[in-house]
Structure 1
Amino acid sequence: MPVLDNPRHEAFAQALFKGKTADEAYVLAGFKANRGNAATLKANQNIVKRLAELQERSAKRVEVTVESLALELEEARSIALVEKQTSAAVSATMGKAKLFGLGSETRKLTGTIQVVTITAKQLDALNDDELALLESAYPVLQKLGLIGGDSGPAPEEGGAE
């Protein structure tokens, strides 16, 4: 159904489409506030058909399917191959695989986690060999910046002259 002949009816349908209540849409369309008339107009077959058309058109515009995404990725992959962009081609291929649920990595982790609490005093008491062993045994602590790495400027020895 094309745009309604009555501009106020069209404005009413557009306002309903945008999520306004019938009362709000009625006033926005230029009518004097009247709840009964707003409800009656909302039930009008031309308004119902126009609203359905607007909703259908909107749904088609945003419809993205697995099929449409797969076609876009295949097109991108083809262009990448022609342009000798192997990295982009592989990326498009992997995108398609993910889209279809293929190639996803699933890892099952088992084991226990040991929590070790060490005080600053205990840490300071460790010698260089013990610190090196701790760092090699606990690489996660290094990544978190809890051990190893640069801890800031070294204190000056002897003071300023």
Structure 2
Amino acid sequence: MSVLPNPRHEAFAQALAKGKTADEAYAQAGYSPNRGNATRMKANENIRKRVEELQGRSAKRVEVTVETLAAELEEARALALTEKQTGAAVSATMGKAKLFGLIVEKHKHSGSIGSYDLTRVTDDDLDRLEAILGPLADTGGDTGGAET
């Protein structure tokens, strides 16, 4: 089935396929609100078939799985090898390895996360901060505040 010949019927079917209620779709298609007519139109065989077709297309577009991604990467790798693009082939191979969890990237974060004015912090709050951050200082963590 293809686009419905009546543009308002097509708009109605498309709105239904996107999850609108029959009443919402009926109004969106340009009809005056009428629950009975919206329900009848939704039950129309041509409308139902068109909605199924539209929803089926949407489902196929979003059907991305590990297998489909792996197949795409393998296709890219094979093409890269035939074109003698070894860098692209290695990149595709690495992409597959990451996809299957064979390579896990680890990131080291360093540097300052900001400076804070602690002059207005209560002694109790400072004690809690020291309890949390003290072990870091004891293990050679951030020595930025240590006096020499």
Please give the TM-score of this superposition, normalised by the length of structure 2: 0.62
Shift of 1:32: 1.7
- Corresponding position of 1:147: 143
1: CA distance, partners of 2:132 / 2:18: 55
Structure 1, unpaired ranges of 5+? 106-113, 124-133, 152-161
| Structure index of larger Rg | 1
2:134 aligned with 1:117, yes or no?
A: yes
Partners of 2:75 and 2:3 lie apart in 1 by 37
* Unpaired stretches in structure 2, ≥5 consecutive residues: 106-130
| Residue number in structure 2 paired with 1:18 | 18
Compared CA separation, residues 77 and 33, structure 1 to 2 (3 A): same
Aligned to 1:38: 38
- Following superposition, the deviation at residue 58 of structure 1 comes to 1.5
Q: Which amino acid aligns with 1:58?
A: S
Cross-structure match for 1:82:
84
Q: 1:103, CA displacement in angstroms? A: 5.1
Q: What secondary structure, in the 3-state scheme, does the structure 2 residue paired with 1:2 have?
A: coil
Distance 1:64 1:117 in 2: 47
Identity within the alignment, %: 65
Which amino acid in 2 is paired with 1:84? Answer: T
Residue 2 of structure 1 and its aligned partner are, at CA, apart by 1.3
Q: How many residues align?
A: 118
> Matched residues in 1 for 2:50 and 2:4: separation?
7
TM-score by length of 1: 0.58
How large is the RMSD of aligned CA atoms in angstroms?
Answer: 3.3
CA distance in structure 2 between the aligned counterparts of 1:54 and 1:115, rounded to whole angstroms: 56
Residue identity opposite 2:74 in structure 1: E
Considering Cα pairs closer than 8 Å and 6+ residues apart, tell me whether 1 or 2 has the greater RCO. 2
Shift of 1:98: 3.3
The CA deviation at 1:147 is 0.1
How far residue 104 of structure 1 moved from its aligned partner, in angstroms, is 5.7
